[in-house]
Structure 1
Amino acid sequence: MRRQKRDKLGRAYSNGYQAGLSGRTKENCPYQNTNAKSEWLGGWREALTDKNMGLFK
């Protein structure tokens, strides 16, 4: 059975989340595509919110 690849937008969100947790700025977004960039920034914002709530250090 073949493994299904994650969709590109889901990957962009995940990468943005990891960038937010590691303290990178939103200007470091590597995506040019509007949809992927939007997902990356959504993940980035979510990570900042989680950090501010004390879920991560």
Structure 2
Amino acid sequence: MKRQKRDKLSRAHAKGYQAGISGRSKENCPYQSTDIRSQWLGGWRAAQEDRSIGLANR
């Protein structure tokens, strides 16, 4: 059985979260499309919140 690819928006959110957890700047967003960029930034913001309350260590 073939695995389905995740949709681009959820992948962008996950990549943004990974970037935020690792401490990268939000200015490093690799996407130009408004919808995908907003998902990436949403993931980045979620990671920043998790880092601020101590859920994730570098």
Q: TM-score, with normalisation over the residues of structure 2?
A: 0.96
Residue 51 of structure 1 aligns with an amino acid whose one-letter code is R
CA RMSD, aligned part only?
A: 0.4
Which residue does 1:4 correspond to in 2? Answer: 4
What 5-or-longer segments of structure 2 have no aligned partner? none
Residue 47 of structure 2 is matched in structure 1 by 47
Shift of 1:9: 0.4
Runs of 4+ in 1 over 2 A off after TM superposition: none
Task: Structure 1 unaligned segments of length 5 or more: list them.
Answer: none
Aligned residues with identical type, % of pairs: 65
Amino acid at match of 1:47: A
Instruction: Count matched residues.
Output: 57
d(CA) in 2 for partners of 1:40, 1:28: 10
Matched, 1:17 2:54: no
For 1:31-52, what per-residue CA distance to the aligned partner results, in whole angstroms no more than 9, with x for missing partners?
0000000000000000000000
